Amino acid sequence: MALAYHRIIVKIGSNVLTQANGLPDQSRIAHLVEQIAGLKKQGKEVIVVSSGAVAAGRSLVQVPEKADAVTSRQVLAAVGQVKLLATYAELLGHHELLCAQVLVTKEDFRDRQHYLNMQNCFRALLQNNIIPIVNENDVISVTELMFTDNDELAGLVASMLNADALLILSNVDGIFNGNPQDPAAELIPEIELTTTSFSSFVTTQRSQFGRGGMITKCHMAHKVAQLGIAVHIANGKTENILPRLLNQEVVNTRFLPNKTASSKKKWIAHSDLAAKGAVQINAGAKAALTATGKATSLLPVGILGIVGTFQKGDIIRILDETSKPIGLGMAEYSSDKALERLGHQNQKPLVHYDYLFLTADIS
């Protein structure tokens, strides 16, 4: 039976779009576009998060060897992004489809107003039957401003748009319980929400042309699944991978989704960089917040201390007694008022459950 996904994020990795020499694989790009056009004909909404700008740049310009890595990446991305989008536009045009370029940085996700503006733009594109082609703006994203990789960006976009599914196309069939090159390693078809440790069975090898690795993919996929969005990791080099994946005719790894969270909670889940301060809570408060099947807000009686300063509406980190981060939340009032109510009973919650996101690796 076909998977009933309507709004789908398709993330295409560098190793899917490139040849062994690092240059773009035009025939594979054309095949993927043909599949995307097929999904559109079925009435599905498709958002593409595509790597490949740097690879496209390599096909057009040769950066001097003496240039530093950041400058080289900026030049290749600036030139290559034009070619990458032109390629998508031309190929989609053969199917009478339009695409739009959306270049983003981490900064665009830190501010609530910027986030809502970007969300509105995506919605307007979809309403006009236009396929957004999303990529990190590598021209201005350097060092600490960069996403871990486009998997992280794809997860943010999926959460922002309340997608039904995120399909991550890599150069392997999914997650294995060992090195995929080892014949004894077996593919894991489904990963439950209760799975929290991936380092014990996932290799740390990074992709040849991308920045991320499989552990990065797992942690991102798990976070997105927590927010009610199904995540599939599949081999983008497989013939007709998209329709076959949706018809459950091809091997892949699926991260099982949790119940859908509110749109604001989805923003909070990815807002660690926007946090203004932190609160340290005692063991009793931690136990209450993490109790299975029970919605609990963070009350001042369970708070041991305040770190930094924050105002009402700011994102704050929640730390346990050992200062281990266990979640993020939106403050209902300022750090000054929180200090006044520290440890007191019968007080208004500092973080309401609706605006609280707990990390997946709580133990």
Sheet holding 165-170, edge to edge: 98-104, 130-136, 45-50, 7-12, 165-170, 230-235, 253-255, 190-191
Known binding positions for substrate:
51, 138, 150
- For 56, 216, 244, the CA distances from 31, given in Å and listed in that order, are 17, 27, 14
Known binding positions for ATP:
11
Q: Which two tokens stand for residue 333?
A: 């009032």
> Would you tell me how many other CB atoms lie within 10 Å of the CB of residue 362?
14
Mean pLDDT (the chain) is: 87
Distance between CA 65 and CA 187 in Å, rounded?
A: 40
Over residues 14-54, the pLDDT tens digits come to 899 988 888 889 999 999 999 999 999 999 999 999 988 88
Q: Which two tokens stand for residue 71?
A: 């400058």
Q: Which residue has the tokens 């980190």?
A: 317
pLDDT of residue 200: 58
Distance between CA 125 and CA 97 in Å, rounded?
A: 12
Judged against a pLDDT cut of 50, whether residue 114 lies above it is answered with: yes
Domain 7-265 of CATH type 3.40.1160.10: yes
Write down the domain spans for the chain: 7-265, 275-358
Known binding positions:
11, 51, 138, 150
Judged against a pLDDT cut of 70, whether residue 363 lies above it is answered with: no
| CATH superfamily of the domain spanning 275-358 | PUA domain (2.30.130.10)
Over residues 199-224, the pLDDT tens digits come to 656 655 544 434 446 777 888 898 88
Percent of the chain's residues with pLDDT above 70: 90
